[in-house]
Structure 1
Amino acid sequence: MASSIPLASIQLNSATISFDDRFTLSEVDWTIEPDQHWVITGANGSGKSALAATLAGIGDIEAGSIEGLPERVGLVSFEAQAELIAAELKKDDADIMDVVSLGTPVREMIFDYCRDVELAEELVEKFGLAPLLERAFRKLSTGETRKVMLVRALANEPALLILDEPFDGLDVDTLAMLQAHLAAIVDHVPMVLVLNRFDEMPDFITHVAYLDKGRLAPAQGGRKRGDEQRGEKGRLAFTVDRKDEAAFNELYQLLHLKTTDLNVPEADPASRLPALDPGQPLVKLTQATIRYGDTLIVDRLDWTIERGQHWQLSGPNGSGKTCVLSLITGDHPQCYTNDIFVFGFKRGSGESIWQIKQFIGYVSTALQWEYRVSTSCKNVVISGFYDSIGVYTKATDQQKRVADQWLELLGMSARADQPFNKLSYGDQRLLLIARAMVKHPPLLILDEPCLGLDDMNRQLVLALIEKICEGGETTVLYVNHHTEDRIKEIDNHLTLEKHH
């Protein structure tokens, strides 16, 4: 095959592209060099398919510019598939047609639109389409239709190949064949793939574009540490050069957490906590007040946390967030002068602080500072069974299995034996959250869990918190300085105000 690489790079310069009233991409700066192969990824609704369609000349440019788009683009997407089928169905309209249409046969759909007939014939065999060549295109299944579109695109000698979720709906053998074919043409055809599942990324991909809410921040030459820029409402959007191993690993973990089918691992039955009265709230503060001398910190706070009712606690520095937490955990000296009910205990009724704390998972920056022992990632998670800093007791096989499941959820299985103190600050925070969760505490308190983290690691922590909220067994109390830094699973918010 002759080289189809375009002579010039493709450039989107502050481009705003609208797709009727459905979606708008905003101020996109992006450069695709001829020797690069990209994956576009991001959450559902982030605009991945819209950005890919833009490279095929679809959409209306409202501002900025797009330069260097090649004339011949191979596009395979669910939208293009739907349009082809809709066009075929129109031929059934008896009011327009004098004769009943049988529909366009598969042979025509493929060979009337390809430049490389020999390749088309080869792919027809490989995709198992030979028995279907005389069948009407509109009579095919969704998976068969997708195969026809792939053959059309691949055999048309495209200068740019755009594949939106190309692996969806393909059986194992067809998937392997397609991946092998794409790997064989990487030197001839630049590719842009849209993938929801980061784990499906082919090895030949050189760059990744992470999109959020229709925005992609500029990061020419690939994102290096610190180059990321916030998109709309503080969200993160950037490009990553796959050679930047640290940045790529962080993005892998983020997309793994956001798209994996894995759920919060089950608790170890041998380590299960005592059952609580399901009819009682987890926490109830009545007219809680904290003052130091003449300084009022918390003024007559009424707050009830029900089981399964996730909360975000926000407020400026000095508003008493940490004080309120210490009332709940029993660490504040004024907890006995207030009306506090926690986990079935009324404070001051003879309960010990450890009776209270066994029901609480707690993660804070202070804990991370304290956790300085040189132990493995796996042992950090296991230490949660013993509420210790480090592991000083032989772990059971079940505890080891639970720890492995948490590492798998975090995308850190390969780093199980790495020393905790050699990890990035963000990875340490993730492991400490897993440590707090191994016993499935009724209440997980995350005190400023994003403090000190860059945007990428912040997104990792927020994605893990979302997973825990979705788990349903643990109620999350998420403390954050910024009220706008919200998690979609958390519907309840308490904002404290400064009183001095």
Structure 2
Amino acid sequence: MVDPVVHIANLTIQYGKDTVLQDLNWQIFPGEQWILGGPSGTGKTTLAKAISGQLKYEGEITFHLDPTSPLPAKIHYVSNWFQFTNLEGDRNFYYQQRYNKFAKNDTLTVFAELKHFAQEEQLSFENVRSYLNIFGFENFKDQQLIELSSGEHKRLQLIKALWLQPQVLIIDQPYTGLDAQSREDLNQIFDQLADKGVTFLLISNDDEQPDCINRFAEIQHGKIVIRQNSNELSRGLPRTRKALPYFLQRAPEVTSPIMVKMNKINISYGEKQVLKNIDWEVKAGEKWLLQGHNGSGKSTLLSLINGDHPQAYANDIHLFGKKRGSGESIWDIKEHLGIISPELHWYYDMNANVGQTIASGFFDSMSLYQRLGFEQQQKLEQILHFFDLKEVKHKTLGSLPLGQQRLVLLARTIVKHPELLILDEPCQGLDKEQTQYFNDVIDDLSKSGQTLIYVGHFQTQLPTCIDNKIVLEKGEVKAVFEVIHKKEALST
């Protein structure tokens, strides 16, 4: 009889008073390739961390790895969020630090990180070159880890995992931050490694999946439930669409008919040019989709708008009617806009409670340091009710499922009713129902004249209000056009 590669018996995990997994039993056998799906918040990431030895638990988890296999007898886990450290092992970074040239030497370079991993796992550099090429990392070797976006960090962790080729590979949300071509390439690699004997457990609700997948499961009431195919995986409960809070039903105050104007923008890091001769204008009331392959310069472009990038002063940029560098502070800029991004989520204070997190949006801070006035308190309560967050108001942000954390940060973004919303991959970590709800909210906000810049790779995860599109390629504007026939235009 064949032993299971992974055997789980009576697994129970609690966070405080909340039981996440309860007497869970599961076996994964050689040749099985699993997708673990189902609604956000059911315990999928918790289970993955337990299997990979990152969480304490009650019960039993045993492994039967093959000592005769050419593959390393290892269980390797790629998390949805990767927390790197500086050279002293500290994780205390701040949001704008990745753009600060004086702070960059505080972390390893990509090359040093790969070299360290190769030494630790006894790997040959020759075997990683193809993955560096596929994921567009050939030119990243000399960059500091702190300079990478969250999507770039995810690709780096995927490169290391695929290079290692362990007997069991667990990947949480494998397609996060990947463009269409990268997702296709990744699925081909999964199929190749499955043929070599790698056993996969992919935590995913995406419609895309590699051909090698042959088993499906989800977690219900803390226990594993086996499904026959991906169509049988449960969906989250549709959220009831509510009327926006009253203060969000009117148009935001607009200070200039042209909110963003860029003329011949050029940004370089050393010899590497990230943006080349960018011209772009965003008028009040427009809804823009910003797209481009991984590494095309989208995050850098947005950092010029939200005031975080110091090279903005050396370029011809007008924001909200004023030339950048004409005496305004970074806080003067942030007063006009609300932003949500994987990076902001990454650096946010996870120990702040939900109420504090949302209220910090009034002050553009990464935690709440000021008392709220009466009107602000009223708006906070309306937002908590609108997003069904009243019951978790006093829970810490880090204690919530990732999808619910992202909704809290959306609430933070809109609570001050900014004239410009910047939403950078806002639906990462949300299940399909949460994504639909999120985009319904954006569509409702757009009806009152909200100006929007939206970044999204997945065509099925976009709001319907988009009316303009700009596409970057290798730091240059590849295309700019008005969206008329929306399905066709957004799918190009």
Question: Shorter-chain TM-score: which interval?
Answer: 0.3 to 0.5
**More relative contact order in 1 or in 2 (CA 8 Å, sep 6+)?**
2
Select the structure of larger CA radius of gyration: 1
TM-score (norm 1): 0.46
